[in-house]
Amino acid sequence: MQQAANTARATRNPDQTRQRILEAAFMEIYRNGFQGMRLDEVLAATHLTKGALYHHFPNKQALGYAVVDEVILPMVQAVWILPLRGAADPLQALIDVIEQMPDTKPPEMIQYGCPLNNLAQEMSPLDEGFRQRLDHAFGEWHGATRQALQQAQQQGLIRTDCDCEEIATFVMAALEGCIGLAKSAQSKDRLKVCNRGLIQFLRSLKTH
């Protein structure tokens, strides 16, 4: 039995359909994790059906991979990488991004944490495909942070004995830790307190 389904179907737009699926899948993964994501929920959110989903993606895993590549990775670039580009004072730019985070992205960030880290923590030990994609995103982020630190170092803003590579790694880890702890407490205050510790660390790198 076949009816006209949802009365008015706009002219075909497969790219947009695919994008809608990706975004709905992202939200489901963000809220429930990849294993917790139900394809039926994604379809309900998009008002699509199995046919559409399996036309665009061969299976659940491929959908998950696409969410990482096409949603999460660009998100990381927008939030953590672009704001550092071409900053006059790279160290201050980094501090600013961290300081403003609690207020620029609530309340989802507090409630559900960091999409990148969530998925990395869940899937890294279970699926090498996920791990590599997520680790690649961390790599991009790390590169941008390291570059900002190195520029600050060249400008004489931070001490010359700082290992920017190492510090960039630690900054990423600390940031994810702060977000994670705030999520555990479901408290924006916790995030602010935690971030203050990180900022204190960054300031301790400054040449006095």
Partner DNA sequence: TATTCTACAGACCAGACAGTATGTAGGCAA
Partner DNA sequence: TTGCCTACATACTGTCTGGTCTGTAGAATA
Q: Which of 11, 156, 160, 200 binds DNA (CB under 7 A)?
A: 11
Task: Name the residue nearer to a second copy (CB basis): 37 or 48.
Answer: 37
60 interacts with, out of DNA, a second copy, none, CB within 5 to 8 A per kind: DNA
What is d(CA 153, CA 159) in angstroms, rounded to the nearest whole number? Answer: 7
Residues 113 and 180: beta-carbon distance below 8 Å: yes
**Partner from a second copy, DNA, none contacting 113, C-beta within 5 to 8 A by type:** a second copy
The yes or no reply on residue 29 touching DNA (CB under 7 A) is no
For residue 9, the 8-state DSSP code is: P
158 - beta bridge partners? 206
Residue 49 partner contact from a second copy, DNA, none using kind-dependent CB cut-offs of 5 to 8 Å:
DNA
Q: What are phi and psi of 158, to 5 degrees?
A: -125, 160
Contact code string over 59-98 relative to DNA, x by CB under 7 A: xxx-------------------------------------
Neighbours of 134 (CB within 10 A): 24
- Kindly give, in sequence order, each residue whose CB lies less than 8 Å from that of residue 138, ignoring residues fewer than 6 positions away: 116, 120, 172
Q: Decide whether 31 or 188 has the Cβ nearer to DNA.
A: 31
